[in-house]
């Protein structure tokens, strides 16, 4: 007798229809409930077990968790400080090695993987030459975690959707921007929501993604959703009042719109031009609303006014950091003072302590990626870093230039713009190799690397799945 699937009760298709699974579920839920009631921390740890099991057995969920957790800045200290994104990265890396061990397959590294590996080797050499310090060991350990996160993303890329990654990233940014705007409009000077100070770069990337998806939206509903997302993340970016991120978002949007229109004209796609007309409407609506709260603009304008020959505030502190970094580079221009050691730069350049405001920045990073490379790893590290960043940008552009369909154009254009702004901003700001921002570099560069990596088996990677 054949029974149509539509006539089967919906509950019989659920796992709880199996009495063994039902008993197992009750046997798990009851102790978790008791633990949460009497020992909350233990209960939370037990409750996370199936989530960990799911992620370790399915790498794509690890990637999705990495995206979401990067928007949560909640340091957990056990001798060393661990962020939620670190935990997500550990699980993703575990899934990566388990998948290689169980399935017996891995990926041959492309040129971008080799450039990243060279950068790690140069960092290790710079540390070894100057002697291992707690700072350098912690820094190199984090760089190893980032490298394997990068490899894990590339490894699992055939199982994920680029569009889903972009949308999930935008959703997380919209939620955090909404929260940060409430804080900012409630009287906060600058607001970063739940994501910490790195959120300015998070929301800048989200703005570029939302704009790209908005330009190629084909229906009114999508244009409205992405248009509102753009308005909210713009508000979140304004609430951070971060100069470098605002500048990067500005030129990134110009390049994005130019390439979108160029590609649309080349392939006869009309949606970007229509979307720009809709964008004009959104802008006309947004300006009067934003104008009712002038402190948003006053704060940003005031921070930009600090540029000039008589630097004040955080600009002055940046100059102090950059002068110290340059002095460290001159001390050892070949391999630097050792990767990760800049926080104690006064050990190599004692004269920096005589600057009257150095005590305010002692222990901080350079706040400039390429200058950090020069100071800590010398000219060799600088060349390795530029080669890696430039390699990712070049690779993503070549992939974009070969796109033939509209989905490919959108996905590859966004990956190229992300690589471009990460590379470009590294020459005047950026924190793409430390903090939560570093996982964004590992994530998106891993996706870019996957476009040129081939599995040992005969499987074909399709990085533009929807």
pLDDT digits (tens, 9 = 90+) for 446-465: 999 887 554 433 333 344 44
User: Higher confidence at residue 190 or residue 387?
Assistant: 387
Has residue 19 been placed in a domain?
yes
Within this chain, do residues 375 and 346 fall inside the same structural domain, yes or no? yes
Specify the pLDDT at position 8: 39
Within this chain, do residues 93 and 151 fall inside the same structural domain, yes or no? no
> pTM of the entire structure?
0.81
178-190 burial string, b = 16+ CB within 10 Å, else e?
A: ebbbeebeeeeeb
Within this chain, do residues 180 and 280 fall inside the same structural domain, yes or no? yes
Has residue 92 been placed in a domain?
yes
Within this chain, do residues 346 and 432 fall inside the same structural domain, yes or no? yes
Has residue 86 been placed in a domain?
yes
Residue 189 confidence (pLDDT) above 90: no
* Burial of 250 (C-beta count, 10 Å sphere; 0-12/13-18/19+): exposed
Has residue 310 been placed in a domain?
no
Within this chain, do residues 458 and 336 fall inside the same structural domain, yes or no? yes
Has residue 341 been placed in a domain?
yes
Within this chain, do residues 241 and 119 fall inside the same structural domain, yes or no? no
Specify the pLDDT at position 297: 57
Has residue 4 been placed in a domain?
no
Mean pLDDT along residues 122-136: 89
**What are 275-331's pLDDT values in tens digits?**
776 676 666 666 666 555 555 555 555 555 555 544 555 677 777 778 888 888 888
Within this chain, do residues 462 and 325 fall inside the same structural domain, yes or no? yes
Has residue 145 been placed in a domain?
yes
Specify the pLDDT at position 458: 30
User: Which residues are bridge partners to 82 per DSSP?
Assistant: 76
Domain boundary among 248, 275, 305: 305
Residue 11 confidence (pLDDT) above 70: no
Within this chain, do residues 180 and 275 fall inside the same structural domain, yes or no? yes
How many structural domains comprise the chain?
4
**What are 221-246's pLDDT values in tens digits?**
888 888 889 888 988 888 887 888 88
Specify the pLDDT at position 404: 82
Within this chain, do residues 389 and 444 fall inside the same structural domain, yes or no? yes
Within this chain, do residues 258 and 345 fall inside the same structural domain, yes or no? no
Within this chain, do residues 436 and 326 fall inside the same structural domain, yes or no? yes
Has residue 238 been placed in a domain?
yes
Within this chain, do residues 32 and 93 fall inside the same structural domain, yes or no? no
Domain that holds residue 90: 58-102
């Amino acid at each position: 007798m054949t029974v149509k699937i539509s006539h089967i009760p919906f509950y019989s298709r659920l796992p709880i229809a199996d009495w063994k699974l039902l008993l197992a579920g009750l046997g798990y839920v009851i102790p978790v409930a008791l633990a949460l009631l009497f020992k909350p921390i233990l209960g939370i740890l037990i409750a996370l077990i199936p989530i960990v099991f799911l992620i370790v057995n399915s790498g794509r969920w690890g990637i999705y968790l990495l995206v979401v957790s990067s928007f949560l800045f909640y340091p957990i200290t056990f001798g060393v400080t661990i962020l939620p994104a670190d935990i997500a990265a550990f699980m993703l890396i575990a899934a990566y090695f388990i998948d290689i061990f169980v399935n017996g397959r891995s990926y041959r590294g492309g040129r971008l993987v080799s450039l990243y590996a060279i950068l790690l080797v140069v960092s290790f050499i710079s540390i070894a030459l100057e002697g291992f310090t707690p700072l350098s060991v912690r820094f190199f350990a984090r760089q190893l975690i980032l490298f394997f996160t990068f490899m894990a993303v590339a490894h699992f890329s055939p199982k994920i959707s680029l569009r889903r990654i972009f949308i999930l990233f935008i959703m997380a940014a919209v939620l955090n921007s909404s929260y940060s705007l409430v804080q900012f409009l409630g009287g906060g000077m600058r607001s970063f929501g739940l994501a910490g100070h790195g959120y300015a770069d998070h929301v800048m990337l989200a703005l570029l993604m939302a704009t790209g998806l908005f330009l190629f939206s084909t229906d009114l509903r999508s244009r409205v959703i992405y248009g509102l997302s753009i308005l909210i993340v713009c508000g979140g970016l304004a609430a951070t009042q971060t100069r470098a991120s605002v500048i990067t978002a500005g030129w990134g949007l110009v390049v994005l719109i130019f390439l979108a229109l160029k590609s649309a004209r080349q392939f006869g796609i009309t949606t970007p031009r229509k979307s720009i007309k809709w964008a004009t409407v959104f802008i006309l609506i947004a300006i009067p609303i934003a104008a009712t709260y002038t402190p948003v603009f006053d704060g940003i304008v005031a921070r930009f006014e600090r540029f000039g020959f008589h630097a004040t505030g955080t600009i002055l502190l940046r100059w102090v950091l950059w002068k110290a970094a340059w002095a460290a580079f001159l001390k050892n221009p070949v391999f630097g003072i050792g990767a990760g050691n800049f926080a104690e730069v006064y050990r190599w350049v004692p004269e920096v302590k005589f600057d009257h405001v150095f005590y305010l920045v002692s222990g901080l990073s350079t706040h400039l990626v390429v200058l950090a490379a020069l100071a800590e790893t010398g000219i060799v590290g600088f060349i390795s870093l530029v080669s890696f960043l430039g390699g990712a940008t070049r690779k993503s552009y070549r992939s974009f230039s070969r796109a033939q369909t509209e989905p490919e154009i959108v996905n590859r254009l966004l990956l190229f713009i992300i690589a471009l702004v990460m590379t470009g901003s590294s020459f005047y700001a950026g924190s793409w190799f430390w903090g939560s921002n570093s996982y964004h570099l590992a994530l998106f560069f891993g996706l870019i690397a996957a476009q040129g990596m081939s599995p040992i088996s005969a499987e074909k990677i399709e990085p533009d799945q929807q």
